[in-house]
A = this chain, B = another copy of it.
Amino acid sequence: MNSNWLVMLTPVGAVFALTFALLMMRRVLKAPQGSEKMISISQKICKGANAYLRRQYRIVAIFFAAMFLLLLALALGSKGKIITTFVPFAFITGGFFSGLSGFVGMKIATAANARTAQAASQSLNGGLRVAFSAGSVMGFTVVGLGLLDLSVWYFLLKYGFEKPAEEITSAMLTFGMGASSMALFARVGGGIFTKAADVGADLVGKVEAGIPEDDPRNPAVIADNVGDNVGDVAGMGADLYESYVGSVISAMALGVSAAHAVGDAVSGEQAVTVPLAMAGIGVIASILGSLLVRTKEQASQKSLLSALRRGTNFSALLIALAAFPLVWSMLGKEHVGVYFAVLSGLAAGVAVGFFTEYFTSDTYKPTQRLAGTTKTGAATVIIGGISLGMLSTLAPAVIIGASVLVSFFVSGGEGNPALGLYGVAISAVGMLSTLGITLATDAYGPVADNAGGIAEMAGLPKEVRERTDALDSLGNTTAATGKGFAIGSAALTALALIVAYTDRVKELAPDVVLDLRLTNPVVLIGLLLGAMLPFLFAALTMKAVGRAAQSIVNEVRRQFREITGLMEGRAEADYAACVDLCARASLREMLLPSAVALLAPVASGFLLGPSGVVGLLAGALVSGFLLAVMMANAGGAWDNAKKYVEAGNHGGKGSENHKAAVAGDTVGDPFKDTSGPSINILIKLLSMVSIVFAGVVLALHLPL
């Protein structure tokens, strides 16, 4: 049975998603912007974010241009043997669309912040509508652009140039590498910006000068709000674009080996297109789910949460139902087991999300107990948070392990490992198929956060801030679920990419026998060095935040000292100077960690050869996964433990306990918003770089 037409679901899904994003954008822009003061603040934030992104893109453009030339030289020099001439172009487009996803998200977020504050001054539900619509713009832009790019490349290579499947997926993996590189820059640069501004503003403003958060007298307050947009929005957009296309592309690549293994041309080719079609279905299910997110005019926070949950659960259910006929018709009933891999991926995403919430939400024991450790000071809060984070790696590791095992065996891995590994890759696609809506519920958090800042700075009534806080805190919970999906899918995708790397090596050098056994010392050394990389990377990014924050601290102190009348509210702070400083510092600091991520796999390839690279990738995968979970969950728990104390527990705001809780939260900031999420990208980028440069490494490595 030929069901080739099902791949059309991809461009159709792209069009649907982008149209839906456009409709949502119009809805956001229709909402009133509020008072002149609110508009002026919002414009300042927007201007700062624009200025930062412009600079970031300028630096990144140099990198992409250089890489483009390098890849082009390689392609032309090797006459397409090491890489084809499509590769440099694929690389560029991946970077471009990843950056565009972040840019659109940032644009809509800065357009929506004042509007959300204004709508929240009417009602909680109004605020939710505007903020969630803005989140939806970002969510559906990401998946829409992802599917668009995927379909254009697929159709171009398949029907335009009539290339074989190997060459198609190999070019598309480079496109993934472009997206991952851009995502890494955006996450690391934005993450350093946002946390440097946050920490810097808090250390001088809250701690030294004793003025409240988001007080307009604080010169770093605009930078702090800009940071939310360039880090939490633009960074996250680029990041999830990368995750999304990465999971689809890696599944397509393993589809090629599965096709070879099965030896059945028809179902073989379908194996490559199933991930594309699945992503298309996911978009449609997400749109339908989003339409369900609405509440009564006077909604409680709880009913808001259940509205969001209803939307995501409905989408997941739709996918679970639609995937069955899809798999059946595309792969035939002998491979229908792959459907259960999809289910296993969906279930694992939900389960990891649940445990993330369990460990980080103050409605559960772990975070409540963490709040209790504030009674004995900052040190016990830190010990408590770190051990909570470490403990929280147990469940995700077991869940992902179980999901890999299930996906492998239900897809027929026992008889045919290539099929089983394909199933594992498909489970990542299943996990991310609801990304449109999960990202929408995730991305609306920073919008609500910004709205709260504007409400504070513009002096709106207290209940407006309370409402935006309610939205923001809801955002923390949904963000936890979103992080679960991001981390879980990163692990599965990275695993698939490791397999794709070995396939690529086999393709390039059929006579090279890779000894990938753990008893091979080269593999073990690779494993050790790879496991070290996320530690190194986390250290570099945290140090970068510290240094950048220090420069903000000095600048804010200078302004307090030199601008007369600032503390009395008679003079305005030089916000732009802080924004500018943050931008320069974060862009400078972003280079070293990014260079490590890009150079490590190539350098270790030269030294240890391809077996060592596989060890490196596997080591980075496992330690990166655990470190990312630990850092994200410790950070989330500290944040919510602080909020729990602020809600009046253990002494409440201003108490010694609260100070201890603030120390925990400050440590958690770079954990959860800079280092943790960047590691997700790191582990995939390492694999993609290895794949793209496999030919070079094979030609030049030392003879181990």
> Which residues does A use to contact B, with CB under 8 Å?
203, 207, 373, 376-380, 382-384, 386-391, 393-394, 397-398, 400-401, 404-405, 408, 413, 417, 420-421, 424, 491, 495, 498-499, 502, 516-525, 527-529, 531-532, 535-536, 538-540, 542-543, 545-546, 549-550, 553, 614-615, 618-619, 621-623, 625-626, 630, 662-664, 666-667, 670
Contacts and interface: CB of A to CB of B under 8 A. Distances in A.
Question: Which of A394, A528, A536 counts the most B-chain CB atoms under 10 A from its CB?
Answer: A528
A382 B384 contact: no
A391 B543 contact: yes
Contacts of A207: 377
Question: Which of A393, A401, A491, A670 counts the most B-chain CB atoms under 10 A from its CB?
Answer: A401
B528 A383 contact: no
Nearest to A625: B528
Given A383-B546, A405-B525, A622-B623, A519 B499 contact: yes
A498 B519 CA distance: 8
A424 B391 CA distance: 33
Contacts of A615: 518
Contacts of A663: 377-379, 382, 663
A523 B625 CA distance: 16
A622 B531 contact: yes
A138 to B, nearest CB: 30
Contact of A546 (B384, B389, B393): B384
A618 to B, nearest CB: 5
B518 A523 contact: yes
11 contacts: A203-B376, A207-B377, A378-B378, A379-B662, A393-B532, A397-B529, A404-B524, A516-B516, A516-B519, A527-B622, A535-B630
Q: Please report whether the interface of chain A is mostly helix, strand, loop or mixed according to DSSP.
A: helix
A618 B401 contact: no
B518 A405 contact: no
A386 B669 CA distance: 13
B379 A667 contact: yes
Question: Which of A389, A424, A498, A532 counts the most B-chain CB atoms under 10 A from its CB?
Answer: A532
Contacts of A621: 524, 528
A616 to B, nearest CB: 10
Contact of A519 (B373, B502, B549): B502
A379 to B, nearest CB: 4
- The 5 A-B pairs at the shortest CB distance, nearest first, are namely A379-B666, A390-B539, A391-B539, A516-B517, A397-B532
A618 B621 CA distance: 13
A511 B499 CA distance: 27
Contacts of A522: 405
A380 B546 contact: yes
A521 B420 contact: yes
A618 B518 contact: yes
Contacts of A413: 521
B519 A517 contact: no
B391 A618 contact: no
Contacts of A523: 518
Given A539-B388, A623-B623, A398 B546 contact: no
Contacts of A391: 535-536, 539-540, 543
Given A203-B377, A383-B670, 15 more contacts: A378-B378, A379-B666, A383-B667, A387-B539, A387-B542, A391-B536, A393-B535, A397-B531, A408-B521, A421-B521, A491-B528, A498-B519, A516-B519, A528-B626, A623-B623
